[in-house]
Amino acid sequence: MALPLVLTAADLSHDRDFARALDAEDELAPWRAHFALPSRREHDIYFVGNSLGPMPHTARAMVNEELDDWSRLGVAGHMGSRRPWFSYHEQLRGPLARLVGAREEEVVAMNSLTANLHLLLTTFYRPSGKRTKLLIERGAFPSDTYAVRSHVSARGLCADTEVIEIAPRAGEWTIRDEDLDARIAQLGETLALAVLPGVQYRTGQAFDVARLTRVVHAVGAHCGWDLAHAAGNLALSLHDSGADFAVWCSYKYLNAGPGAVACAFVHERHLGDATLQRHAGWWGNDPKTRFKMEERFVPAHHADAWSLSNPPILSLAPLVASLAEFDGAQITRLRAKSVRMTALLEFLLRGTPDLEILTPTASHARGAQLSLLFAKNARSRFEAFLEAGLVCDYREPGIVRLAPAPLFNTFEEVWRAAAIVREACRSC
């Protein structure tokens, strides 16, 4: 059965055997066995990889390798371990660049998402003259809002007037492109920086990184992206998009473990620019002179120039393991499977009483996640889903998020998840 990439209702079926047949022809099906799927009961459906991805089995061996080398070698491990700690982070450049469509010198794994956002706001939010405004969505992930407001205050400006929030229209959940365009155009030469989400965490709405970056650049502002819910989910082309910077965490779709080391992208055109403001640290210094321990900072010609410290090897090890899975599976194949899985889930849920799907229907406007809004009893329905083995999460006000992840979920799980939702909606 050859399915087209963009599915319409005519291509889909309510039949469980239809889902099984999609699994049978799925070339990514072998990847499921590479992960430890959390299961309180035997057939739990893990649809929260958008919140905390499951552990790749190889992560354990990767961490143990570093513990062994540390115990055997001590300080000599910096140069003499199997994967020398001095350059350990460099092995992530290739897989990260392939994952997000960047050049190897544009990506770095370091810190946490919010810490990286702060580091890049220091560089790319440079209010001066009339150009002082910072655009973000209303209802952005709170950490992002806190971070941008704190930067505006730290420059001696008023966050209430300088942070501009764009919101969906009254009665709507997702932001319209034309409203974003109009707001950016209206801000014009007062806009210093826009910080936008690749995929909105609550609604699952995906934004067009390249198009919006162009719109922001057209008024002379910088454009940065929070890709927490987009990395490992969408097939991104960060370099070609022209985005100034991006940050993302790696514990969601990237499966690198709780509090995993996060990532950042800085566009090539900004690399090696010693005039940029930044919070400098020795690990951002040009590696050729790093150990000369000189007094003046010389930025590496690399996104590494924003890193501060020698990285936490034990925490990077699971990221090495998980990115190897993405390299094998390939993000374009994952995205193609994901588009089909989400389309099938939406098709099977359509028409369920009291249920509204907030996530856009067009595949280019969403990733893996569907956000379900229940008119009533949202909390008790969510609990009924968990009870029936559908592991998902709940966000106020009454939203249940389901995220079938193409790396390890199956089409039959999509079918079973939809059956659980429909059944729970009949009975409570």
Ligand X SMILES: *Cc1c(COP(=O)(O)O)cnc(C)c1O
What does the binding site for ligand X look like in residue numbers (CB under 6 A)? 112-114, 141, 143-144, 197, 201, 226, 228-229, 249, 262
The nearer residue to ligand X, 270 or 401, going by C-beta atoms, is 401
Tell me what percent of the chain is helix, strand and coil, each rounded to the nearest 5: 45, 15, 40
Residues found in the chain:
428
Closest distance between ligand X and the C-beta of residue 144, in Å? 5
The nearer residue to ligand X, 191 or 264, going by C-beta atoms, is 264
- Pair of tokens at residue 196: 């936008």
The nearer residue to ligand X, 28 or 206, going by C-beta atoms, is 206
* CB-CB neighbours of 397 under 10 Å: 8
The nearer residue to ligand X, 197 or 284, going by C-beta atoms, is 197
Closest distance between ligand X and the C-beta of residue 225, in Å? 10
Q: Rounded CA gap, 167 and 174, in Å?
A: 8
Q: Torsion over CA of 218, 219, 223 and 229, rounded to 10 degrees?
A: -80
Closest distance between ligand X and the C-beta of residue 233, in Å? 11
The nearer residue to ligand X, 228 or 384, going by C-beta atoms, is 228
Closest distance between ligand X and the C-beta of residue 273, in Å? 26
Closest distance between ligand X and the C-beta of residue 227, in Å? 8
Q: Rounded CA gap, 199 and 221, in Å?
A: 21
SS3 203: coil
**Which distant-in-sequence residues (6+ apart) come within 8 Å of 300 by Cβ?**
272, 284, 285, 286, 287
DSSP secondary structure code for residue 370 in this structure: E
The nearer residue to ligand X, 127 or 197, going by C-beta atoms, is 197
Residue in 408, 95, 137, 148 with CA at minimum distance from that of residue 263 = 95
Closest distance between ligand X and the C-beta of residue 147, in Å? 9
* CB-CB neighbours of 36 under 10 Å: 12
Q: Rounded CA gap, 350 and 417, in Å?
A: 13
